[in-house]
Amino acid sequence: MIVILDRQHAGKPGKNDRGASVELDGRTVYEVDLTRAYIEAATDLLNAEGHAVYVLEDGWYSARHDRACEIARENPDERIAYVACHINAGGGSYGLVLHDARSRGGHALAEAVANALGTDNAALDRTLVRAADHEGSLARAMTTIKGIYSGPGNLSGICYEPFFIDSERNQALMTADGLRAVGNALAVGCMQWGE
């Protein structure tokens, strides 16, 4: 199996997009720094288990989706998981994994990752899986994965929003140990999906 971890917000051409932020212990913490940490943890675990990992962190989302589709075409015999890596904002205290409403593979990947994230995670109220489309309340989230569904059939994508940056309850997940747990859950979910 191949896992493509896209550190979104980071690397947009001509923009200093760092995603959501919060003041924590007298310093500003940015979404892109938190995603970097959990991506590193997921990469370490996936590599240790013999899986190939690509980390994307520059270009417009559409170019990253094109790159993911290219990787899938180059590896037609591999199952490939694409993960748009984010941190949520807005005061909730749950984990959220989104998939393209048209994608059965994306739905199965989202379920596996949400189950792994929710296992014994006291910092989250619950984990949710939601289908996104081009209309309605999740249309904005669809931009993070919209180029994946039209790719090769061996490619499935999700948007991973494991916790809320501005939730006091979720602050335990913004520590080194918490981010490692978030990354490990992502890796475990991908591996369970890939079996």
Q: Report whether 41 contacts 116 (CB < 8 A).
A: no
Say how many C-beta atoms besides its own lie within 10 A of residue 173's C-beta: 25
pLDDT band at 27 (very low <50, low <70, confident <90, very high): very high
Which tokens go with 42?
């997921």
Long-range pairs, 105-112, Cβ under 8 A, ≥24: 105/153, 105/155, 105/156, 106/145, 106/148, 106/149, 106/156, 106/157, 106/158, 107/131, 108/156, 108/193, 109/81, 109/156, 109/157, 109/158, 109/189, 109/190, 109/193, 110/158, 112/189, 112/190, 112/192, 112/193
Instruction: Check residue 172 and give its pLDDT.
Output: 92
* Identity at 52, one-letter amino acid code: A
Check pLDDT > 90 for residue 135.
no
Residues 181, 195: Cα–Cα separation, whole Å = 21
pLDDT band at 108 (very low <50, low <70, confident <90, very high): very high
Instruction: Check residue 119 and give its pLDDT.
Output: 81
For the entire predicted model, the pTM comes to: 0.96
Reported as a single tens digit per residue, the pLDDT across 33-77 is: 999 999 999 999 999 999 999 999 999 999 999 999 999 999 999
Question: What share of the chain in percent tops pLDDT 70?
Answer: 100
* Identity at 22, one-letter amino acid code: V
Domain ranges of the chain: 2-194
Residues 68, 74: Cα–Cα separation, whole Å = 10
Reported as a single tens digit per residue, the pLDDT across 84-101 is: 999 999 989 999 999 999
Q: Where are the alpha helices (DSSP H) in 17-156?
A: 31-48, 61-74, 104-118, 139-142
2-194 adopts what CATH topology? Aminopeptidase (3.40.630)
